[in-house]
Amino acid sequence: MKKMLLSFLIMTHFTVLSQKENKEAVIPIPKPQSFITSHQGTFNGKTIKYKATAKESYLKNQKGDSVASIWSVAYTQDGINSSLKRPVTFVFNGGPGSASVWLHMGLFGPKIVKVDSDAKKDDGAAPYDLRTNQYGLLDLTDLVFVDPVGTGYSRVVGKGKEKDYWGLNEDAKSIAQFMRQWITENKRWFSPKYIAGESFGTTRAAAVAKELEGGGQNMALNGLILISQALDYDGSTSIHNNITSYVTYLPSMAATAWYHKKAGEGKDLEGFIAECRKFTYEVYTPALYKGSLLTENEKNSIAEKLSYFIGLDKDYILRSDLRILMHRFQKQLLADKGLSIGRLDGRFMGDEADKLSENPHLGDAASYQISSAYTAALNHYYASVLKVVMDRPYLTSNRKIGSKWRWRTVPDGSYWEPTPVNVSRALGETMRRNTDMKVLVASGYYDLITPFFDAEYTFSRNGIVKERVTMTYYEAGHMMYTHEPDLIKISKDIRSFLTNE
């Protein structure tokens, strides 16, 4: 009797578990949302009628199950006989964990938010200044703003798992899948295709360009627009013992010191930078590799020159062993004024209570002084112009993603030692397989996250075809378009890139 009872209980237990598992496995997938509106705008003096399609697109796994929802906003021109020759540009930001709000509301979108061009004022509280983007590119190209899984309104659905999307390779596969799906649904396989990415978005762009070559559906891109490139993280990671970073950050420090009138008195910016480049290549780099083999006279000479370029006290530079970490530079440059400078953009300044901390303890002034305006602008624009109504908040950033991100580039079970992220070699190989693909690299002189000299260092190596690379520079930082003169300039530079002029 006891055995029969035990058997009954075990069967009942597994039946309940089975029912529970089945119940979890058949969670209903909500119907994808779509909001379509019609608009008209003037871009580069040309009046364009266009359609805005803000929608969720479901990605499916190999079994045909919907597993992820990608949110995108597409602007496509109306009233043309054939879209075969009209370019389409896919746009995303970086992070990982950032939605496309920055490039959407700052550079490419038909409406953009205005913040202080001179980086002197905080964005404050609402209301903000949302205006027509007269420098927009809709006369030249359709635009598709893409939010990767976990950002914006994008999320996993059904049986989908976040781990299948939160990684370098996983992310590239999902974006490539979305692009092929969008191109197929909109019958745009003959259209010229571009990607515009910013920061980690440039890492993603290079990875996606490679991913698009495989999968049984080779999609060749016409070009990449890399804004504040981050292809080789050696050059954009300011930590002890990373000699590459001491080299790549120095000219940006010099440019920023010049901007704040701490160095280069009487010199023009580009001339001063050229002087620093020469010193970096010919003197500073060899000295870093000599290390403790330097004589005291050599150390003193280099410290004096570093002080001349970056505006810090010679004794401080000597105590730093000729190696200045970026977060210390942020805190030290304007220490006499009790201010720290921004990381995304060295023009920004923050007044912090703790004047002696090693790094800015409030965070990045270049971020917190504009982020409220961008977040409010996008939400207002979605509701009032695109008529978007969703049941959840739009995540402009998701910090949870970064802590769970998978940088591993080889399958589990394969031997792998962690190394700095580097997709530059992949870009070089893709350019050699796709001989029509060209690249625009846009760098800000005061970008203290992804320094302009790192772009030069990266693109002079790694098998990249330099004849098809255009380098452009701006007197602002990571998001150079927040500076009005550079918004105009980068728009013109991208326009020239797209038209081969």
**pLDDT the model gives residue 26:** 40
Q: Which amino acid is at 318?
A: L
Q: Collapsing DSSP states into helix, strand and coil, what is residue 25?
A: helix
**pLDDT the model gives residue 82:** 76
Neighbouring-strand partners of residue 43: 46
**154 and 47, same domain (yes or no):** yes
The tokens describing 314, both together, are 């010679």
**403 and 330, same domain (yes or no):** no
Q: Which residue range forms the structural domain that includes residue 334?
A: 239-366
Which ranges constitute the DSSP H helices of 61-217? Answer: 101-103, 168-185, 200-211
**42 and 161, same domain (yes or no):** yes
**475 and 454, same domain (yes or no):** yes
Residue with tokens 């010679």: 314
Distances (CA, A) of 339 to 352, 445, 451, 461, 477: 7, 20, 22, 37, 18
Residues above pLDDT 70, as percent of the chain: 94
Task: Determine if the peptide bond prior to 96 is cis (ω within 30°).
Answer: yes
DSSP secondary structure letter of residue 30: P
Residue with tokens 């280069």: 264
Residue 199 belongs to some domain of the structure: yes
Diameter of the chain by CA atoms? 100
Neighbouring-strand partners of residue 58: 69
**54 and 183, same domain (yes or no):** yes
Q: What are the tens digits of pLDDT across the range 424-461?
A: 999 999 999 999 999 999 999 999 999 999 999 999 98
Domain count, the chain: 2
- Which CATH number covers residue 215? 3.40.50.1820
**pLDDT the model gives residue 409:** 85
236 phi/psi in degrees, rounded to 5: -130, 25
Question: Among 51-60, 119-128, 213-222, 353-362, where is mean pLDDT lowest?
Answer: 353-362
What whole-number distance in Å separates Cα of residue 98 and Cα of residue 75?
Answer: 21
Burial of 327 (0-12, 13-18, 19+ CB in 10 A): middle
Q: What are the tens digits of pLDDT across the range 64-84?
A: 999 999 999 999 999 887 778
Query: According to the 3-state scheme, what is the secondary structure of 383-429?
Result: HHCCCCCCCCCCECECHHHHHHCECCCCCCCCCCCCCCCECHHHHHH
Interval 280-293 mean pLDDT: 96
**138 and 287, same domain (yes or no):** no
**356 and 382, same domain (yes or no):** no
Residue 111 belongs to some domain of the structure: yes
**pLDDT the model gives residue 113:** 96
Residue 117 belongs to some domain of the structure: yes
Query: Last residue of some domain: 338, 366, 394?
Result: 366
DSSP string, 221-252: -SEEEEES--SBGGGG---TT-HHHHHHHHHH
Residue-averaged pLDDT of the chain: 92
Q: What are the tens digits of pLDDT across the range 183-194?
A: 999 999 999 999
Q: What are the tens digits of pLDDT across the range 361-372?
A: 888 888 999 999
Whole-prediction pTM value? 0.92
Sign (positive/negative) of CA torsion 95, 98, 104, 107? Answer: negative
Distances (CA, A) of 473 to 232, 281, 478: 19, 20, 11
pLDDT value at 140 more than 60: yes
What whole-number distance in Å separates Cα of residue 198 and Cα of residue 492?
Answer: 17
Residue 9 belongs to some domain of the structure: no
Residue 24 belongs to some domain of the structure: no
Residue 315 belongs to some domain of the structure: yes
**pLDDT the model gives residue 22:** 46
**326 and 378, same domain (yes or no):** no
Q: What are the tens digits of pLDDT across the range 223-270?
A: 999 999 999 999 999 999 899 999 999 999 999 999 999 999 999 999
**117 and 63, same domain (yes or no):** yes
Query: Last residue of some domain: 366, 390, 408?
Result: 366
pLDDT value at 115 more than 90: yes
